[in-house]
A and B are shown apart, each in its own frame.
Chain A
Amino acid sequence: MKAVGIILAGGKNERLKQLSSIRATSAIPVGSHYRAIDFPLSNMTNSGIKKVAVITQYNSRSLHDHLSSPKWWDLGSKQGGLFVLSPYLSSDNSVWFRGTADSIYQNLNFLRRSKEEYVVIASGDCVYKMDYNEMLAYHKRKNADITIAYHRVPDGDDIRLYGVMEMDAHERMLDLEEKPLEPQSDLASIGVYIVRRQLLIDLIETIVPEGRYELVRDLFARYRKRLKIYGYHFEGYWRNLNNIHSYFDCNMDFLRRDIRNLFMAYIKTKPKDEPPAKYNAGATVSNCVVGSGAILNGHTSRSIIFRKVYTGENSRINNAIIMEGTTIGNNCIVEHAIIDKEVVINEGTQVIGTVESPVIISKGSVVK
């Protein structure tokens, strides 16, 4: 694929509460073995993109750790590479990224020094599988300046959390409004854009010095009449991890065989070299996704168990997300809960939320 990739992983999301206060949203653990960024990153390499920049800002340590080596995503070649770009100080610049367009502007050399004709931009906190080649073929077919992928927001999901698009009969974008009060359609941008590299450089160099820092508002929406911007309907599975409910549901989707088959053998992640999971005598585990290195003794149902989790004898875990390295003692009850990494739940403790509002236990806490 003649394109470079940019993953916008700088976002902070207050609606994810404690889960994102300590990490970039893109680094949030998902589906037992993965982090959110594995999905767009694997999409890029599986589409044949060899050079990817991940632009990050808030709590970038977690991302840096996860992306410490490019080789797990086959991005270790000399002609390509994985570039993790954070804000930096220089003689003429000492500001944080003021928006998505600004974050690209401050790293414009990445684009200037590439030779690929196109750029694929994706956000780092969405769970989906997409072949960007198909979208690029569409982009060329439409002779578009910019193509924006969208999907139809299912009932029950709040459209007002998204960038809502309106298209004409030929899929040319008429309007794009970020988090609108009065949404005019149920079509939401999924944060995947394709644009010619040189055009993107020119546009960014025009708008950012004018004090316009946002891709969606200041570029796509503002230029919708001057440029040919097209929508590309993505009909596959797509979830944004933008609030606790979508995060919870997206994890639980991994209990479906079709969803696991969609991602298995496709999404790459940093290997952790944990031994196999071990279900001891007396354990019952039903309808669960379980990570490697987990040792289970208790009764676990309808849950997503991450790597290296330990559950004690007679513990009961139901409808819960238990992240890496958490230890649950004997005789505990954990229900309707999201337990972050490395939590210790002492013997006999009950952690019970409701379906509407799961309990969240912060990373590293000890629950007595």
Chain B
Amino acid sequence: MRKKEMIAMLLAGGQGSRLGVLTATKAKPAISFGGKYRVIDFPMSNCINSGVDTVGVMTQYQPLQLNQHIGIGIPWDLDRRLGGVTILAPYLKSDQGEWYTGTANAIYQNMEFIEKYNPDYVLILSGDHIYKMNYAKMLDFHKENKCDVSIAALEVPWEEASRFGLMNVRADKRIYEFEEKPKNPKSNLANMGIYIFSWPVLRDALERDSHIHPDSDFGMHVLPMLLGESARMYAYPFGEYWMDVGTIESYWSANMDLVKTVPEFNLYEEFDKIYTDADHQPPMYTGPDAQVQATLLSEGCEVLGEVYNSVLGPGVIIEAGAQVRDSIIMENCYIGRNSRLHRVIADTNCSIGEGVVIGEGENLPNADKPRLYHTGITVLGEHTLIPDKVSIGKNCVVYGLTYPYDYQDGRLESGQSIIRETSIKGGSE
């Protein structure tokens, strides 16, 4: 088999539990972003835009939607005879089955896949982040510095540095220390979870660490071990847009960033496009009485009502008289006549009746999960049905098919939840 200089291993098994109901039936890399995309589209597109044409995607948590989305990799030109995209799920070995127990363990369990391409370098990525990056430039940096490991480093503002896992470096960017969320940061270079390893170094380290740690993890085990052995580890500074959409609030605001007239993160460049699975191809339609401002509209959207400061996914329909503000409405949602939505995240395939009001009331944190839902955003899980004329407050969670009798006096007060899971959809919050 022809050799590949560098292949990518993309960790896409994470649940993203702080995203609550949004990740009930899909892994975090599979959630929608920016209307038509899913989070995993960003690292996948970065790969092909950087000339990395062999990508192993490791899935574990709720992989169905991710598998369907990736398919054989056509949208990213990763349908190739040699290389391309391969989904790597945990599998049964001769004597036992084993889940992926840690980030490094997931790679360790797929060493055979890597070996097949006999690469010089392995790029480790996570499917959780929104950014555009040319990994080929990072590889140049890796080679120039004769690195064993290079780690992409986000230059964060100094006042926020103590929230991150930091890398302390010498003037030549060689790393001499890792510090996890230090009180007095010595550096503002945050570990982005993007690594290039020289393959022999990685292979050796994984084999040794896996004997010590059954839950082998890059950040906790492998990288500190290599640093202790004076491996050549360098920080590759990255000064552009990078966003971890780990919480409801950060997910919401990262989407809202995109609707600004000049957003920080530019999706409209001619080259280095972000590719995604294009189920929907029709154009958008805006009706005679529609008012749409500061909004992204994806393929096949139809807006007859009013939408301000929002992100609409493919196939969304907003009926006449409806008013949507500061909201994220994902693929195939339907908003009935005269409904009013404010700060709502509606996951895919929700149907909202007529005259519904969502997101008005007192800002009480969610009674069941106050740490997840407390910033005034109400979240609707996928396939949620909201009956006509009910009113839903702030920080609410509604998931599943709901009927008028679920709403006392036609209301769901702020901070309350209705979770109606059906066995068909499966999964748990």
Q: How far is the CB of A289 from chain B (nearest CB, A)?
A: 5
The minimal Cβ–Cβ distance linking B153 to chain A, given in whole angstroms, is 28
> Do B273 and A273 have beta carbons less than 8 Å apart?
yes
Task: List residues of chain B with CB within 8 A of the CB of A274.
Answer: 273
Q: Is the CB of A264 within 8 A of B300?
A: yes
Known: A287-B288, A292-B298, A292-B299. A275 touches B282 (CB 8 A): no
Q: Given that A271-B278, A281-B261 are contacting pairs, would A276 and B283 also be in contact in the complex, using a CB cutoff of 8 Å?
A: no
Whole-angstrom distance between the Cβ of B241 and the nearest chain A Cβ: 14
- Assess the B283–A285 pair: CB atoms within 8 A: no
Q: Which of B58-113 contact A (CB under 8 A)?
A: 74-75
A278 x B290 contact (CB < 8 A)? no
* Per-residue B-contact encoding for A22-43, CB less than 8 Å = 1, 0 else: 0000000001110000000000
- A291 contacts the other chain (Cβ, under 8 Å)? yes
B298 contacts which of A32, A33, A276 (Cβ < 8 Å)?
Answer: A276
Residue of chain B at shortest CB distance from A33? B283
Residues of A close to B286: CB separation below 8 A: 279, 285-288, 290
The listed residue (B36, B288, B290) touching A276 by CB distance below 8 A is B36
Residue of A32, A273, A292 near B275 (CB, 8 A) is A273
- Contact string, A258-287, partner B, CB cutoff 8 A, digits 1/0? 001001110111010111111111111111
- The distance in angstroms between the C-alpha atoms of A284 and B311, with both chains bound, is 17
In the complex, how many residue pairs between chain A and chain B have their CB atoms under 8 Å apart? 109
A281 touches B283 (CB 8 A): no
**Does the CB pair B284–A277 fall under 8 Å?**
yes
- Would B274 and A269 count as touching, CB distance under 8 A? no
| Residues of chain B within 8 A of A285, CB atoms compared | 286, 290, 292
B259: which A residues are within 8 A, CB to CB?
278
Kindly supply a per-residue 1/0 record for chain B positions 261-281, scoring 1 wherever the CB is within 8 Å of any chain A CB and 0 otherwise: 100000110000111101011
Residues of A within 8 A of B288 (CB): 286-287
Interface positions, chain B 198-240, Cβ under 8 Å from A, are none
* B284 and chain A: residue at smallest CB distance: A290
Q: Does A231 contact B (CB under 8 A)?
A: no
- CB pair B293–A280 under 8 Å, yes or no, is yes
Least Cβ distance of B81 to chain A in Å?
A: 14
18 A–B contacts from the bound complex (CB under 8 Å): A33-B299, A71-B74, A254-B283, A260-B285, A260-B302, A265-B300, A271-B75, A273-B75, A275-B267, A276-B34, A276-B36, A276-B296, A278-B297, A279-B297, A284-B291, A287-B286, A289-B284, A292-B298
Of all chain B residues, which has the CB nearest A325? B270
Chain B residues positioned under 8 Å from A293 (CB to CB): 268
Having A260-B302, A271-B278, A290-B297, one finds 4 other A-B pairs with CB under 8 Å, namely A257-B302, A275-B34, A278-B296, A289-B284
A265-B280, A271-B75, A275-B268 as given contacts; A289 in contact with B285, CB under 8 Å: yes
In the complex formed, the residue of B with least CB distance to A302 is B288
**B residues near A271, Cβ cutoff 8 Å:** 75, 278, 281
Q: In the complex, A197→B38 CA distance in Å? A: 46
Q: Which residue of A lies closest to B293 (CB)?
A: A281
Majority secondary structure, B binding face: loop
State in angstroms the CA–CA spacing of A276 and B255 once bound together: 12
Judge if B287 is at the interface, Cβ distance under 8 Å.
Answer: yes
Chain A contacts of B362 at CB under 8 A?
A: none
Contact partners of A291 in chain B: CB under 8 A: 283-284
Which of A257, A263, A276 is in CB contact (< 8 Å) with B297? A276
Task: Name the distance in Å between B198's Cβ and chain A's nearest Cβ.
Answer: 33
Report the minimum CB–CB distance from B298 to chain A (whole Å): 4
B295 contacts which chain A residues (CB < 8 A)? Answer: 278-279
Say if the beta carbon of A295 comes within 8 Å of chain B: yes
Chain A residues with CB under 8 A of B300: 264-265
Inter-chain contact B75/A292, CB cutoff 8 Å: no
Q: Could you say which of B278, B286, B292 has the most chain A C-beta atoms within 10 Å of its C-beta?
A: B286
Complex: chain B residue closest to A278, CB-CB? B296
Complex: A263 Cα to B285 Cα, angstroms: 13
Which A residues are CB-close (under 8 A) to B268?
Answer: 275, 278, 293, 295
A276-B297, A278-B295, A279-B292 as given contacts; A287 in contact with B284, CB under 8 Å = no
- Chain B residues lying within 8 Å of A283, measured Cβ to Cβ, are 292-293
Chain A residue nearest in CB terms to B313:
A276
Do A290 and B285 touch across chains, with their CB atoms under 8 A apart?
yes
Residues of chain B with a CB closer than 8 A to A284's CB: 291, 293
B181 CB, nearest partner CB in chain A, Å: 35
Q: In this assembly, does B365 line the interface, its C-beta being within 8 Å of a C-beta of chain A? A: no
Contact with A along B288-323 (1 / 0, CB 8 A): 111111111111101000000001100000000000
B387 at the interface (CB under 8 A from A): no
B35 at the A/B interface (Cβ < 8 Å)?
yes
Which B residues touch A275, using CB under 8 A?
Answer: 34-36, 267-268, 273-274, 296
Across the interface, A281 reaches (CB within 8 A) one of B36, B275, B294, B302, namely B294
A131 to B: closest C-beta gap in Å: 19
Closest 4 CB pairs of A and B: A32-B283, A275-B267, A276-B296, A276-B35
Complex interface: chain B residues within 8 A of A276 (CB): 34-36, 267, 296-299, 311-312
Cβ contacts under 8 Å, B312 to chain A: 276
Residue with the highest number of chain B CB atoms closer than 10 Å, among A257, A275, A281, A286: A275
